């Protein structure tokens, strides 16, 4: 593993000390099994009741149909419980039966015993969205539980959409993305089962690796490349060297580009941005040469200018954005009455990720558009509102930076400040935080950045302009048209702009005073 990645590693401690015991079946058996057992997971009261109820359902099925089932909780819930993290994402994996059929048995059993039930929802497989397996979901004791059958997968050469069949626990574990996501919790024995033989050890040591040959795993489903990056950054784990080598191969990168829909790429990037270590996520994307593939821009032929795109700036700006979002920096910059929400944080991180495109403009539907907007909207398929917000934040950076410098130098006219806040809208605080981060990225000291931008925010507050974007015209368009003897419509906008400028300069101005301004200052200059 490179020294670059080694510096990123931050290993969680397991919730309890592992007591490891390995048992082997006959080595000549075609489905050779290796199970690792450890100290039992500590269940909550609700989890205990759910497990007990599901075991009773399995007993009832055996008694009435002679079908013997083993029920297991699969994947992320097991991993998170071992890390001492709360998890409400319970996926029940069943052998010899479809998840939908099992869910129907569960609801029937609960009805039989007068336990509150809900309808069973069937989520059909949708391979184009990486939903390869039919899933059933229903409420069990007030908590949503998903039901799926154990599966095996085979892939065609030119597709990442697998052929799905019923499988064994070993086959199901091997087809998963990484070993720490391939653990099971057996509801009957109340033991953790590690059919890859590596999941528990990797979890304890903080390692991300694929259960099978990494290159073949990624060629089968290249989305797993991004999932490796996401989980490595989420937990601060080290990517195992063979897994890392496979990710660096050009054939894997080209398969990621060719096979994976932009929607699925966007889902993974969004989760990275919302995670605890978004800087590590973008560092890994850059390290493995995936920036252009992940953040796909429109063809250079559509760009207005040949703008240099410095992908490495994404890491620096993300780091600086997080520094500005640090509690101490944020408190120094923004008064307590303002807040930066989780949604704001997400927009700021995504804006940082696509900052290398901030100066680029391309033709889109016969109009000029920010390349950053197009990357977010089309390259990641994130909501248009997100793309618009990110493009607006980028656009506001130079304006807010210049205004902050003016505020540091001395008083600024109220209407000048007000027009900027109106143009920025409700996102003016978020844009200010981002503008501060960009200045940090450019080498300005933290103290100077905080002093400059806090002066801007203070000026806005003292002028009572925080909500200037909500301000309505004190004299509306119809009244203006009557006063000036003209028609309403787009042609009256310049007059309304002058009225708003007057309002911003005269915060205590009345309706009558504004009418007088219109009659004396605007009407004489209107064309006859």
What is the DSSP code string of 161-172? -PEEEE--HHHH
Alpha-carbon span 351 to 22, nearest angstrom: 48
Query: In 3D, which of 86, 97, 95, 79 has the Cα closest to residue 47?
Result: 86
CA 305/CA 396 separation, integer angstroms: 20
In sequence order, the 6+-apart residues with CB closer than 8 A to the CB of 56 are 109
d(CA 520, CA 515): 9
CB 121 within 8 A of CB 103: no
Question: What pLDDT, in 10s, does the model give residues 303-320?
Answer: 998 899 999 999 999 999
pLDDT in tens, the chain (528 residues): 433 333 333 333 344 333 333 333 333 333 233 334 444 689 999 999 999 999 999 999 999 999 999 999 998 999 999 999 999 899 999 998 999 999 999 999 999 999 998 888 887 654 444 444 678 999 999 999 999 999 877 666 555 566 677 789 999 999 999 999 999 999 999 999 999 999 999 999 999 999 999 999 999 899 999 999 999 999 999 999 999 999 999 999 999 999 899 999 999 999 999 999 999 999 999 999 999 999 999 999 999 988 999 999 999 999 999 999 998 888 889 888 888 999 999 999 999 999 999 999 999 988 999 999 999 999 999 999 999 999 999 999 999 999 999 999 999 999 999 999 999 999 999 999 999 999 999 999 999 999 999 999 999 999 999 999 999 999 988 888 888 888 888 888 899 999 999 999 999 999 999 999 999 998 887 764
Q: Where are the domains positioned within the chain?
A: 3-205, 212-293, 295-468, 472-525
Domain 212-293 has CATH 1.10.110.30: yes
Structure tokens at 117: 């039930």
Would you call 21 helix, strand, or coil by DSSP?
Answer: strand
Multiple choice CATH, 3-205, 3.40.50.10190, 3.40.50.300, 3.30.460.10, 3.20.20.60: 3.30.460.10
**Please, are residues 524 and 483 in contact by the beta-carbon 8 Å criterion?**
no
Contacts of 361 by beta carbon, 8 Å cutoff, 6+ apart: 303, 304, 305, 368, 369, 370, 371
pTM, to two decimals? 0.85
First to last CA, the chain: 78
């Amino acid at each position: 593993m490179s020294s670059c990645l080694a510096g990123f590693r931050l290993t969680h401690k397991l919730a309890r000390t592992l007591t490891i015991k390995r048992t082997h079946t006959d080595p000549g058996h075609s489905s050779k099994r290796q199970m690792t057992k450890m100290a039992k997971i500590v269940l909550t009261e609700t989890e205990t009741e759910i497990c007990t109820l599901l075991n009773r359902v399995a007993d009832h099925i055996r008694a009435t149909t002679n079908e013997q089932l083993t029920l297991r909780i699969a994947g992320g819930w097991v991993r998170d419980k071992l890390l001492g993290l709360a998890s409400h994402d319970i996926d029940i994996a069943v052998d010899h039966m479809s998840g939908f059929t099992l869910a129907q048995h569960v609801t029937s059993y609960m009805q039989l015993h007068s336990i509150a039930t809900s309808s069973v929802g069937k989520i059909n497989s949708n391979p184009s969205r990486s939903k390869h397996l039919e899933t059933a979901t229903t409420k069990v004791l007030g908590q949503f539980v998903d039901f799926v059958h154990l599966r095996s997968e085979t892939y065609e050469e030119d597709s990442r959409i697998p052929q799905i069949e019923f499988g064994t626990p070993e086959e199901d574990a091997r087809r998963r993305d990484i070993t720490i996501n391939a653990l099971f919790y057996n509801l009957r024995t109340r033991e953790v089962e590690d059919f890859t033989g590596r999941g528990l050890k990797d979890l304890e040591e903080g390692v991300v690796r694929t259960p099978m040959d990494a290159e073949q795993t990624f060629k089968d489903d290249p989305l797993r490349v991004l999932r490796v990056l996401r989980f490595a950054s989420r937990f601060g784990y080290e990517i195992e060297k063979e897994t890392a080598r496979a990710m660096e191969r050009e054939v894997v990168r080209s398969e990621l580009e060719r096979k994976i829909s932009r929607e699925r790429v966007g889902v993974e990037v969004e989760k990275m941005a919302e995670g605890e270590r978004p800087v590590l996520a973008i560092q890994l994307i850059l390290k493995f040469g995936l920036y252009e593939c992940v953040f796909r821009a429109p063809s250079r032929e559509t760009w207005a200018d040949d703008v240099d795109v410095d992908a490495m700036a994404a890491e620096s700006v993300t780091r600086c954005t997080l520094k500005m979002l640090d509690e101490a920096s944020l408190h120094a910059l923004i008064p307590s009455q303002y807040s930066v929400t989780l949604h704001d944080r997400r927009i700021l991180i995504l804006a940082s990720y696509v900052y290398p495109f901030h100066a680029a403009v391309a033709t889109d539907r016969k109009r000029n558009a920010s390349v950053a907007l197009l990357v977010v909207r089309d390259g990641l398929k994130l909501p248009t509102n997100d793309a618009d917000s990110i493009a607006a934040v980028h656009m506001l950076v130079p304006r807010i930076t210049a205004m902050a410098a003016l505020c540091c130098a001395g008083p600024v006219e109220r209407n000048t400040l007000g027009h900027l806040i109106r143009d920025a809208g409700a996102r003016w605080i978020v844009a200010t935080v981002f503008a501060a981060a960009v200045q940090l990225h450019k080498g300005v000291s933290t103290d100077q950045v905080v002093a400059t931008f806090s002066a801007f925010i203070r000026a806005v507050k003292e002028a009572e302009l925080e909500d200037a974007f909500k301000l309505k015209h004190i004299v509306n368009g119809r009244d203006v048209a009557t006063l000036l003897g003209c028609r309403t419509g787009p042609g009256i906008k310049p007059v309304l702009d002058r009225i708003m400028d007057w309002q911003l300069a005269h915060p205590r101005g009345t309706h009558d005073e504004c009418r007088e301004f219109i009659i004396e200052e605007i009407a004489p200059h209107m064309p006859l």
